[in-house]
Amino acid sequence: MPLHNHNLCFLYNKPVQHTMTHTGLFPPVEPHDHGMLPLDDTHTMYWEQSGNQNGIPVLFLHGGPGAGATPAHRRFFDPARYRIVIFDQRGAGRSLPLGETRDNTTPLLIEDIETLRQHLGIERWLIFGGSWGSTLALAYGEAHPDRCLGFILRGIFLCRPGEINWFLYGLRNFFPEVWREFVARLSPIEQCDILSSYYRLLMDPDPAVHMPAAKAWGRYEGSCSTLLPNPDTVDYFTSDTVALGLAKIEAHYFRNNIFLPENSLLENVHKIHHLPGVIVQGRYDAVCPIVSAHDLHLAWPQADYIVVNDAGHSAWEPGILIELVKATEKLKLIL
């Protein structure tokens, strides 16, 4: 069920300062500030701020990598209490150039976050990220724990080889018809190395080659992201901007093991043990199976660990959405 005001008052014994809609999200809010921030000779970052300019700074990290952020992502946060900062990562969304993989690595994304923090004059901020956003949140937090107030993470993806292999091959155990459609453009030999085969198609300069491949990749991921079929989710993942950024940059990062040492996120999570954290995970998350969230919970027992038993991967699954808003409401009272 949607989360209403009286639920929050009961949970935290304090009044909610901003009325939420029947969906459980806060009402739409427009940015009061936005811009394009040059990062280097190739990349320019889109960023925006909304909510309370003097509120608790919170940084939203979108998924993918390459998916980009949307106006709806502002609505997880009480705009009366939070200074909401959203940006599109290199090659994603409104950042330019779209789908660019040159000079696009996890260490550079971490540097970009620091560049944005300094540009906005923020000392420390709460980090909120789901799926790849949880990966980047952990990587940033472990690199700059002194710049973080805490973490809200969803749909945990640690980018270990087994997780990438699961995405490319394991999902056919639950979505065989979707997987068959995904690999239909590949020969039987090419299907033995889906990642390299798709990478070759996605990096082809001809839009007649790379766009159908990108849309097929987006359709595959979107179709597997919800517990029940959701055509709106699939439509979003197959839109031109999302599909191109998502498919090209995911393939790029997966081929390079996200440009971090294997298992480094778990091995270094002790660096953020002292900070408040909430981990929200769908029990039936097929894209990022629950074992990764469980492993993170074991490595970071100080964080709250919430399993939503009737949800898949998407942040818009009703139970996950409710828990994410509850987490932002909880942390606004203690930060």
Q: Which residues are catalytic?
A: 131, 285, 313
121: left (phi over 0), alpha (psi -120 to 50) or beta: left
Helix (H, G, I), strand (E, B) or coil at 101: coil
* Euclidean distance between CA atoms 317 and 224, whole angstroms: 13
- Angle, alpha carbons 61-66-70 (nearest 5°): 55
Q: What 3 state SS string does 27-77 have? A: CCCCCCEEEEEECCCCCEEEEEEEECCCCEEEEEECCCCCCCCCHHHHHHC
* Euclidean distance between CA atoms 87 and 35, whole angstroms: 10
Token reading at 35: 């811009």
Token reading at 68: 């980009």
Contact yes or no for 331/152 (Cβ under 8 A):
yes
Q: Give the burial class of 207: count Cβ atoms within 10 A of its Cβ; 0-12 exposed, 13-18 middle, 19 or more buried.
A: exposed
With CA atoms as reference, report the closest residue to 292 among 165, 198, 172. Answer: 165
* Euclidean distance between CA atoms 330 and 328, whole angstroms: 5
Helix (H, G, I), strand (E, B) or coil at 86: strand
